[in-house]
Amino acid sequence: MATTPMLKQYESIKAKVPDCILFFRLGDFYEMFADDALTAAPVLEIALTSREGGSGSRIPMCGVPHHSAENYIQKLIAAGFKVAICEQTEDPQQSKGIVKRDIVRIVSPGTVDTVAAEHKNNYLAAIYKEKDWGLAYLDLTTGDFRLFQTPSQQTLLNELNRINPAEIILPKEFAVSMSKALDGYYSNAADKTIFSSLAGFRERFHNYTGLLEQMPVSARAAGALWNYIKKNIPDSSLQNVIELKSCRQSEVMVLDRWTRKNLELVESSRFGDERGTIFDVLNLTKTAFGARMLRHWIQQPLLNKEQIEARLDTVEELTKNTFARQELFKCLSHVYDLERLTARLSYGKASPRDMLALAATLACLPEVRKIIHQHQVLTLTKYLEPISGLDDLSAKLLKAINPDAPVTLHEGNIINNGYIPEIDRLRAVASGGRDWIARLENQEREKTKIKSLKIGYNKVFGYYIEITNANSHLVPEDYIRKQTLANCERYITPELKEYEQQVLNAQEKLFDLEYAVYTELKDEVLSHTPPILNAAQAIGEIDVFLSLAEAAVRHHYVRPEINNEGTIHIVEGRHPVVEQVCNDLFVPNDTLLTSSKSLALITGPNMGGKSTYMRQVALIVLLSQVGSFVPAQKAAIALRDCIYTRVGASDNLASGQSTFMVEMNEVAFILQNAASRSLIILDEVGRGTATYDGLSLAWAIVEYLAGNPTAQPLTLFATHYHELTALETMFPAVFNLHVAVREKGSDILFLHKILPGKADRSYGLHVAKIAGLPLDLLKRAESILRELESLSGETYPDKATRVEVLQPSLFDQEEVHPLLKEVEEIDLDRMTPKQAMDYLYDLVSRIRSSKVL
């Protein structure tokens, strides 16, 4: 129990935020005490000390400097803590007794004002449930605020998965029932009252009454979200949040979370980040907000043909107008993150440098307009208006703010000379004062004949004259002694003090005036928030179009033709990501899916390229609906409402589901939701269970998809169950494709070419050989394979597949070539480098002349 008044004050404040680490402001530091200190010190890697807690006890303590607190706060947030910031709420010099302190802000993952990932949004989400599910999410660092409402919990989870919120608020009563579904998210159970007192929110968004009435459950979630922010960041004006948007499912393509994951749209399974994704290939944007917008576009392809064609028109024009594209790109590379700068301004966190960045960005807008005009980029003319009207503001800021302004606000040097006459005058007095002091120093040296006489300054005594003890006998009588040090004395004179007062007064007035002028400028910028955010939106879109056009040119993409006839016809299609790693070796493939031939069954060896092919088709369709050009020689794309994929094995052991269970869940979801305007990719469905169970399921799934006369989605189905190929003769919609391989002795060569008809075999054992399984094991596997095939042969729908297997053994031990033997026996340690080189030349020439190796 603390007994000092300060620690008592600490305890009473800490009691208000038991779930937070309390940053308690003491002078220039934020201190943490007791359990908070014990928890935070190791996370922040700072020293743990202790402080007198009264009655001889000591309390653990650690602290961080206030000017670098942001980094430490971020570290604690990243480690899963919430941080409450407690400031001194009165001037310590004016206060009697203990300084008043209070909590000014509670920082949690969804309410941080700085985020490291510039390409990603940082959403705070709230969920509410009545009959429907309501979702609202807001990125405080960009002002993006959206509503989403759906009757299906699965769809809600899907949307959550897409936006990947940093934090979720939900009413306490759902917290338990939702805990499994929200596993992996940072969630906060809140009191129901914050979901019901919506007056403040409704007042702020009174222009959106219609939307709020259409989406009443999401409106509640949005209101709760608003209340939560107002409570946790009471002094934020939130002026950067000006718009409320709705996310309507009917306007964008449905991509469930498995599809987004399987197609590696914005996050790859290999790296867990954007490397190796479709976003990575297309993202040539120059601005952070352009990159964030592209991320959204890729995850939300459009459904409306006119909108898609309009985007394609813009991309096409920019691919053709190379000069305009390059000029615009050059211009946008000087653009800073307008959305996040505006957000920082509205939190009162913007430094003069942020204002300069904003001004420099706005100063690029006339140039963008000029390029659009000069190069007659017709599809971009609609952006001219939103990027106009801010020139005066940027000119004013650039005139007002010193390009070398410091990060801090209270030490002057913010405002340029020549902007405000009074600032110039005060600055002249303050710096003239320094010249005057230098003159006085010389004058006093001459007068006293003390060469070492110095005039110095410190915060306690102000200006003083310092004289070493050796010269003390020369000190004039009018000097007033102020301080005695080991080898000198410090004096003042009335003249010095009088001038000091003038200088200090001028400096103080200067700093205050500079701060006031800066605040005025800041308020003026804030009053322009809506046009600035509109300009950001326009520049973001231009940036995305430039990026799509540049990617199209660099990677040789073509404009897809969008149709409503239900036909996907791709000539020489490529996988946009795999082709990047294969360079010129990628083998393009054709695709033709129509309403009468809607289900392609693809067989062929492991490693043949089946998955790559199916994903490539899905990605080409998706990119077309994003409004991007596509990797193909020609592409006619039937508009799709949704793409479903079930690719490869995945498990969700954390939620207690086995691999097979997850697979069946995903397939069930697809079958329940697929309709004629869906594209379905199924890769080796059924392989997670016993062979016959798997085969029967796969068979029945194909029948289900191909046999429905009213709703036949376009489907690509890859399988190792060769028996399924017989379905081609039973269902008119089904047709077989296979991946070509060439056999070369006991080896196989993957041609990665998709051809009509079925594959004759799987080559699984060949692939295992390539992977390096022991030869003895492979031989044994081969004999088991033959045995099994002869046993089960009669049950195969098509026996032809079996005959081919009866061929000479693949895995007989090969005779070792004499050259290899010779090389193996060389003793390299006994050779000089010259001998080794000669030997190598000889070896190469023998190999070249030999046909054997």
Ligand X SMILES: Nc1ncnc2c1ncn2[C@@H]1O[C@H](COP(=O)(O)OP(=O)(O)OP(=O)(O)O)[C@@H](O)[C@H]1O
Per CB under 6 A, the list member of 610, 687, 738, 802 interacting with ligand X is 610
Q: Compute the distance between CA of residue 225 and CA of residue 207 in angstroms, rounded to an integer.
A: 18
| Contact by Cβ (8 Å): 285, 546 | yes
Q: Known binder of ligand: residue 661?
A: no
The yes or no reply on residue 719 touching ligand X (CB under 6 A) is no
Query: C-alpha distances in angstroms, 132 versus 26, 156, 428, 434, 672?
Result: 49, 10, 67, 71, 20
Cβ closer to ligand X: 123 or 613? 613
Helix/strand/coil (H/E/C) assignment for every residue in 509-521: HHHHHHHHHHHHH
The yes or no reply on residue 694 touching ligand X (CB under 6 A) is no
Q: Known binder of ligand: residue 609?
A: yes
The residue nearest ligand X at its CB is: 609
Cβ closer to ligand X: 707 or 764? 764
* Beta-strand pair 747-756/123-129: unpaired
Site residue total, ligand X (CB under 6 A): 13
Q: Known binder of ligand: residue 351?
A: no
Cβ closer to ligand X: 585 or 653? 585
Nearest approach, Cβ of 752 to ligand X (angstroms)?
3
- Residue 293 half-sphere exposure, CB side, CA atoms within 13 Å? 22
Nearest approach, Cβ of 781 to ligand X (angstroms)?
16
The yes or no reply on residue 591 touching ligand X (CB under 6 A) is no
What is the chain's alpha carbon radius of gyration, rounded to the nearest angstrom? 36
The yes or no reply on residue 769 touching ligand X (CB under 6 A) is no
Strand partners, 172: none
Q: Compute the distance between CA of residue 181 and CA of residue 234 in angstroms, rounded to an integer.
A: 31
Cβ closer to ligand X: 1 or 585? 585
* SS3 label, residue 646: strand
The yes or no reply on residue 688 touching ligand X (CB under 6 A) is no
x-or-dash string of contact with ligand X, 338-367, rule CB under 6 A = ------------------------------
Nearest approach, Cβ of 743 to ligand X (angstroms)?
16
Q: What is the DSSP letter of 378?
A: G
Nearest approach, Cβ of 568 to ligand X (angstroms)?
18
Helix/strand number for the chain, H first, E second = 30, 27
Per CB under 6 A, the list member of 123, 586, 644, 735 interacting with ligand X is 586
Q: Compute the distance between CA of residue 60 and CA of residue 592 in angstroms, rounded to an integer.
A: 71
Cβ closer to ligand X: 314 or 612? 612
Neighbours of 533 (CB within 10 A): 23
The yes or no reply on residue 578 touching ligand X (CB under 6 A) is yes
Nearest approach, Cβ of 606 to ligand X (angstroms)?
3
**Nearest of 335, 337, 334, 323 to residue 371 by alpha carbon:** 323
Per CB under 6 A, the list member of 582, 773, 819, 843 interacting with ligand X is 582
The yes or no reply on residue 646 touching ligand X (CB under 6 A) is no
Phi, psi of 29, deg, nearest 5: -120, 155
**Nearest of 405, 390, 417, 389 to residue 356 by alpha carbon:** 405
The yes or no reply on residue 609 touching ligand X (CB under 6 A) is yes
Tokens of 510: 């200067």
Strand partners, 748: 743
Nearest approach, Cβ of 527 to ligand X (angstroms)?
55
The yes or no reply on residue 559 touching ligand X (CB under 6 A) is no
Return all residues near 277 (Cβ < 8 A) that are at least 6 apart.
264, 265, 266, 267, 268, 577
Return all residues near 390 (Cβ < 8 A) that are at least 6 apart.
362, 365, 528, 531, 532, 535
Nearest approach, Cβ of 253 to ligand X (angstroms)?
24
The yes or no reply on residue 687 touching ligand X (CB under 6 A) is no
Which range binds ligand X by CB under 6 A, 232-240, 456-464, 606-614, 784-792?
Answer: 606-614
Cβ closer to ligand X: 310 or 768? 768
Count, residues in the chain: 853
Q: Known binder of ligand: residue 184?
A: no
Nearest approach, Cβ of 320 to ligand X (angstroms)?
29
| Contact by Cβ (8 Å): 290, 538 | no
Which range binds ligand X by CB under 6 A, 73-81, 359-367, 605-613, 774-782?
Answer: 605-613
Scan residues 46-105 and list those touching ligand X (CB under 6 A): none
Per CB under 6 A, the list member of 387, 467, 536, 607 interacting with ligand X is 607
Scan residues 748-767 and list those touching ligand X (CB under 6 A): 752
Nearest approach, Cβ of 605 to ligand X (angstroms)?
7
Strand partners, 439: none
x-or-dash string of contact with ligand X, 462-501, rule CB under 6 A = ----------------------------------------
Query: C-alpha distances in angstroms, 197 versus 125, 231, 415, 536, 667?
Result: 17, 13, 44, 33, 42
Q: Known binder of ligand: residue 598?
A: no
Lookup result for tokens 């998709």: 754
Return all residues near 652 (Cβ < 8 A) that are at least 6 apart.
662
| Identity of the amino acid at 375 | H
Which range binds ligand X by CB under 6 A, 184-192, 454-462, 559-567, 584-592?
Answer: 584-592
Q: Known binder of ligand: residue 604?
A: yes
**Nearest of 614, 761, 627 to residue 303 by alpha carbon:** 627
Q: Compute the distance between CA of residue 264 and CA of residue 258 in angstroms, rounded to an integer.
A: 10
The yes or no reply on residue 576 touching ligand X (CB under 6 A) is no
Which range binds ligand X by CB under 6 A, 7-15, 174-182, 600-608, 621-629?
Answer: 600-608
| Contact by Cβ (8 Å): 400, 521 | yes
- C-alpha angle 821-827-828 in degrees, rounded to nearest 5: 115
Which range binds ligand X by CB under 6 A, 36-44, 91-99, 447-455, 579-587?
Answer: 579-587
Which range binds ligand X by CB under 6 A, 362-370, 577-585, 820-828, 837-845?
Answer: 577-585
The yes or no reply on residue 587 touching ligand X (CB under 6 A) is yes
Nearest approach, Cβ of 667 to ligand X (angstroms)?
17
The yes or no reply on residue 608 touching ligand X (CB under 6 A) is yes
Nearest approach, Cβ of 682 to ligand X (angstroms)?
12
Q: Compute the distance between CA of residue 43 and CA of residue 79 in angstroms, rounded to an integer.
A: 8
Query: C-alpha distances in angstroms, 44 versus 21, 47, 71, 219, 507?
Result: 12, 9, 9, 39, 38
Nearest approach, Cβ of 815 to ligand X (angstroms)?
31
Q: Known binder of ligand: residue 610?
A: yes
The yes or no reply on residue 686 touching ligand X (CB under 6 A) is no
Helix H or strand E segment including 756: strand 747-756
Which amino acids are annotated as binding site for ATP, given as ranges? 604-611
Residues that bind ligand X in the complex, under the rule CB under 6 A: 578, 582, 585-587, 606-612, 752
Give binding residues as ranges: 604-611
